[in-house]
Amino acid sequence: MALKSEFAPISLPTEAYGETALNALWAAFVEEPEKPIFVDSEDYSKSVTFKTVYFQSLAVSSYLDKINFRHGDVACLVMPNCFEYFPISTGIALIGGTSSGASYMFTEYGSLDRVLNVAKRCPFIKKIVASSESQDIREFPFGVTNIKDVFSTQPNVNRQKIDINLDRDICILPYSSGTTGVPKGVMLTHRNFGTMMKIYLSHFEYHINQLIYAHSKPQDDVYICTGPMYHVAGWSLLNLAVLMGQTCVIFNKFSPHSFCKAVQVFKPKVLRTVPPIVVLLAKSSIVDRYDLSSIKLVAVGAAPTGKELCEDLMKRHPTIRYVTQGYGMTETTTACHLHVLLEDDQKFGNSGKVANNMEMMIWDPETKKELQQFEKGEICLRGPLVMLGYLNRPEATAQSIDDHGWLHTGDIDYVDKEGFLYVVDRLKELIKVKGLQVPPAELEDLLLTHPEIADAGVVGILDDRDGEHPIAFVVTKNENLTEKEVQDFVKDRVAKYKQLIGGVVFIKEIPKSAAGKILRRYLKDEAIMFKNAREKSHL
């Protein structure tokens, strides 16, 4: 059953996204010359204006041109959330380059020293730009430049625009991990990203503004930016706020008190967030110390949020009128389904309706049969938000996007009679902890480096606060190996959110198919029994 969007179609973008972002910066500056675009969540006196970021973006573009960074080149942004992220990425886009965000959460296993050593052996790296200097980075033969020097480059306000192919040139290159193999670069074009922004803006204009901003201006609202900018969702929502002319409070590190304080001080009406923060607002005693009554709409993404949690949130904060969810993935440039604000029946648990200019279909991947309302099957999507493909992985691209342009998501969903989508389960076994992605294969590969581990399988176990936690099933060579030893082994080598908080279960054999693939559905059943048994033992 193929469904077309009920939302009015938008006109597709006709300019490269860098120009769109630059024009938005200038428009906000003209409207209010001293308005801050970014404010530091830890020190509100630290801020930067739309005007400053406008000229910083041009300076980055000029600097890149000076060092012969050209149309089609890629810049990897290994940065935490910071003021510099936006002008750097915009400057890259202006010159026809591609931004590829990377996680900055270095640990011993993925340490900065190791990254720098690898970088020294990469002949294609032309330049490193750093926010601070150290002895390590000064050793690079191709040179390291401080970001302050980049921003000091004379902006070329009369620059010649780059001829960019909106449908082929890559604007951003985020990475999406599956459960097997290595992470894949998702090629999102200027048309992809520009269309996503236009859909977001249209949705606010026609479906949100009149309900939330009836007595105020959307540009006067404040965006509380807690999501990582290197992630496509965090980056998309930050850009949406900038295009709307909103001030953004930038969180480098999240803390419940800092978050609640920011809400109390800046009084946002719309909160775009993830399930762990919903849990905080619904259940933590911390929120009682702050006035959060400005929030009218909570829009949740990254992972499903249960009906009971949504109801608890609204009960505790009666000024919140709407709690909604959307649906999307990196391969659909963030959101391919948009939430719908309903006055009477909130319809908790749904993930909205298919976005403007998009089509969706639910089918049975085994029988190839299209399914009808309330029949559960794999959701497939088609339209201008679907990625160009995976970088240098034509076979993986062909497996995901068929000859008719349908993206096969690997998610099991269904739609009701009104066209609302309900996410049932994931065929792709990616674990999501606080909205961050944890590929099981990555942890399995790491576990297999332990000298006393013969085989391993990792799945996610549900958690009310964090969404999921990784739990490992291990076949040992040494029966004396303990759960703590395995957890400590992993802890020292990965970021905190990837640690085996769900526990370690020792088994005789990892269940696998005839083709050698781990049968994770059996491990999930075992994980539930393990969790239930452990909880009973603690009573």
Q: Per residue in 282-296, pLDDT tens?
A: 888 899 999 999 999
Dihedral angle computed from the Cα positions of residues 265, 35, 323 and 10, in that order, rounded to the nearest 10 degrees? 180
Q: What is the DSSP string of 170-223?
A: EEE--EE--SSSS-EEEEEEHHHHHHHHHHHHHHIIIIIHHHH-TTS-GGGSEE
Q: For tokens 């908080």, name the residue.
A: 501
Residue 403, in any domain of the structure = no
Output the domain CATH number for residue 112: 3.40.50.980
Q: What angle is formed at CA 495 by the lines to CA 47 and CA 443, rounded to 5 degrees?
A: 145
* 95 and 204 share one domain: no
* 196 and 185 share one domain: no
Three-class SS of 212-260: HCCCCCHHHCEEEECCCCCCHHHHHHHHHHHHCCCEEEECCCCCHHHHH
Does pLDDT of 110 surpass 50? no
Does pLDDT of 332 surpass 60? yes
pLDDT digits (tens, 9 = 90+) for 448-481: 889 899 888 999 999 988 999 999 999 998 889 9
For 217, residues 6+ apart whose C-beta sits below 8 A from its C-beta are none
Q: What is the pLDDT of residue 425?
A: 65
Give the residue from 198, 279, 205 showing the smallest Cα distance to 236: 198
* 437 and 326 share one domain: no
| CA torsion through residues 390, 395, 399, 402, sign | positive
Phi/psi of residue 32, each to 5°? -150, 90
Domain that holds residue 334: 190-368+413-426
CB 328 within 8 A of CB 352: no
CB 435 within 8 A of CB 302: yes
Residue 1, in any domain of the structure = no
* 38 and 172 share one domain: yes
459: tokens are: 């799945």
Return the SS3 of 414.
Answer: strand
189, 211, 244 - which closes a domain: 189
Does pLDDT of 107 surpass 60? no
* 143 and 79 share one domain: yes
pLDDT-based confidence at residue 108 (cuts at 50, 70, 90): very low
pLDDT-based confidence at residue 340 (cuts at 50, 70, 90): confident
pLDDT digits (tens, 9 = 90+) for 379-410: 999 999 999 999 999 999 999 999 999 999 98
* 357 and 417 share one domain: yes
Q: What is the pLDDT of residue 137?
A: 55
Chain Cα centroid distance, residue 28: 26
What is the greatest pairwise CA distance in the chain?
71
The helix, strand and coil proportions of the chain, stated in percent and rounded to the nearest 5, come to 35, 25, 40
- The CA distance from 338 to 325, in Å, is 8
- The CA distance from 247 to 225, in Å, is 10
pLDDT digits (tens, 9 = 90+) for 166-212: 999 999 999 885 434 467 999 999 999 999 999 999 999 999 999 99
Output the domain CATH number for residue 446: 3.30.300.30
pLDDT digits (tens, 9 = 90+) for 224-250: 999 999 999 999 999 999 999 999 999
Does pLDDT of 315 surpass 90? yes
- The CA distance from 490 to 537, in Å, is 25
* 329 and 464 share one domain: no
189, 217, 232 - which closes a domain: 189
* 420 and 481 share one domain: no
Q: What is the pLDDT of residue 24?
A: 98
- The CA distance from 468 to 179, in Å, is 15
Residue 396, in any domain of the structure = no
* 70 and 185 share one domain: yes
Q: For tokens 């829009």, name the residue.
A: 299
Q: For tokens 């059943």, name the residue.
A: 525
Q: What is the pLDDT of residue 460?
A: 93
171, 189, 207 - which closes a domain: 189
Residue 58, in any domain of the structure = yes
* 141 and 54 share one domain: yes
Q: b/e map of 4-40 (b: 16 or more CB within 10 Å)?
A: ebebeebeebeebbbbbbbebbeebbeeeeebbbbbb
Q: What is the pLDDT of residue 441?
A: 77
* 140 and 257 share one domain: no
Output the domain CATH number for residue 352: 3.40.50.12780
pLDDT-based confidence at residue 109 (cuts at 50, 70, 90): very low
342: tokens are: 């309903």
Using N-to-C axis directions, what is the helix angle for 85-94 and 17-31, rounded to 10°? Answer: 130
- The CA distance from 10 to 532, in Å, is 49
Give the count of domains, the chain. 3
In 18-83, DSSP assigns E strands to 36-40, 47-49, 74-78
- The CA distance from 330 to 319, in Å, is 32
| CA torsion through residues 355, 356, 357, 362, sign | positive
- The CA distance from 242 to 250, in Å, is 12
Residue 399, in any domain of the structure = no
Type of residue found at 266: F
Residue 393, in any domain of the structure = no
- 8-state DSSP, 12: P
Q: What angle is formed at CA 521 by the lines to CA 520 and CA 524, rounded to 5 degrees?
A: 85
Q: For tokens 């096969």, name the residue.
A: 408
Q: Is residue 529 within a helix (H) or strand (E), and if so which, with residue range? A: helix 520-537
* 336 and 447 share one domain: no
Could you give the count of Cα atoms lying within 13 Å of 373 in the half-sphere of its Cβ? 5
Q: Of 50-54, 429-433, 450-454, which range is least confident?
A: 429-433
**What are the angstrom distances between the C-alpha of 76 and each of 70, 102, 174, 225, 531?**
14, 7, 10, 21, 40
Residue 86, in any domain of the structure = yes
- The CA distance from 505 to 525, in Å, is 12
404 burial level (CB within 10 Å; 0-12, 13-18, 19+): exposed
Residue 286, in any domain of the structure = yes
Q: b/e map of 499-514 (b: 16 or more CB within 10 Å)?
A: bbbbbbbeeeebbeee
